[in-house]
A = this chain, B = another copy of it.
Amino acid sequence: MLIMIKPNVDEAQVAAIKSCVEDLGLRAIESRIRRQLAIAAIGDQDVAPNGLIESLPGVEHVLPIHKPYKLASREFHPDNRVVSVRHIPIGGDAIQVIAGPCSVETPEQMIAAAAGAMAAGASLLRGGAFKPRTSPYSFQGMEENGLKYLVDAARPYGMPVVTELMDPRDIDLFLKYGVDVIQIGTRNMQNFRLLKEVGQLQVPVILKRGLSATIKEWLMAAEYIAAQGNLNIILAERGVRSFEPAYRNMLDVSAIPYLKRETHLPVIADPSHAGGAAWMVPALSLAAIAAGADGLMIECHPNPAQAWSDGEQALTPQELHALTRQVAAVAQASGRAYGQPLIDLPRAS
């Protein structure tokens, strides 16, 4: 339930209300509903004796949260949430692009990747250090060195970094290297232990949709993170499994407006994993932005033909550069801005 607090209630009264909520075995989490202070009391339903909360001093009235995802719902937080990744706001009026290679390979590759992503108009750098691969015999990622190469490449440009966490035991390593956004991958969307642990951090989390997760299951997975106190969650639609053999996954563009209605959390799209082919990335990117996505996560490699993984779906920096111009134009056509200043590429000599 949402406990709406009267205006001008003092801190002691708010504390007393929260204390009463916690005595009932519920979590008390503050929010603002149209500028009015509210306390969400979250947990097992219906444990409050009838009228108890309403009778507390400072309580104006009590509203139910109908959705099973309490903290992730628009009821809890009617305004769009803006997740700040350092100086980069995700979920506000401007579109942000996260770009970088599937896998971190070498320091040189990452330096080139960062330079290329920056020049192409991306605001965050991605790269996988711990790789979930279908085969145990495939390259499993550079692991700790990968984190190092990623961060070292991004820092000169002031770009925050995004990388995937597969095991809670790696969190200390992620914190040591200053990972800015923790990505929870498709295969771990319902790895509830992992969700709970990233929920105990305040580091922003990109939560990718499971391969055939429903919207409700996805928001419940976000709720696992939120219920631990971390509301810095970004949802990433990356295509779902389908009967269609022509493309790797089916980008569920309908999920974007649906999520924007159901939740206050930012929503981005990953057109690279959706289509599984570089040539499809532009069309899917523009579709996602036109549908209302807050950003894009795009695989971009300085030399896709030499990529250690997923090269067939990576753009070159030049291709990304061309795409971000189109993204900016579509964003503007729908009344939004593009997050980074777009500069012209230097001409090849």
Contacts and interface: CB of A to CB of B under 8 A. Distances in A.
Interface in A240-264: 240-247, 250-258, 261
A50 to B, nearest CB: 20
Contacts of A348: none
A137 B191 contact: no
Interface in A204-222: 210-217, 220
A133 interface: yes
Contacts of A35: none
B214 A211 contact: no
19 contacts: A42-B137, A44-B137, A132-B190, A134-B217, A135-B223, A166-B191, A210-B211, A212-B212, A214-B245, A245-B245, A246-B258, A247-B258, A250-B250, A251-B253, A257-B283, A283-B291, A287-B291, A329-B334, A330-B330
Nearest to A137: B43
A49 interface: no
Contacts of A196: 136
A253 to B, nearest CB: 4
Interface of A: 42-44, 68, 70, 132-137, 166-169, 187-188, 190-193, 196, 210-217, 220, 223-224, 227, 239-247, 250-258, 261, 274-275, 279-280, 283-284, 286-292, 326, 329-330, 332-334
Nearest to A138: B44
Given A254-B274, A283-B257, A242 B243 contact: yes
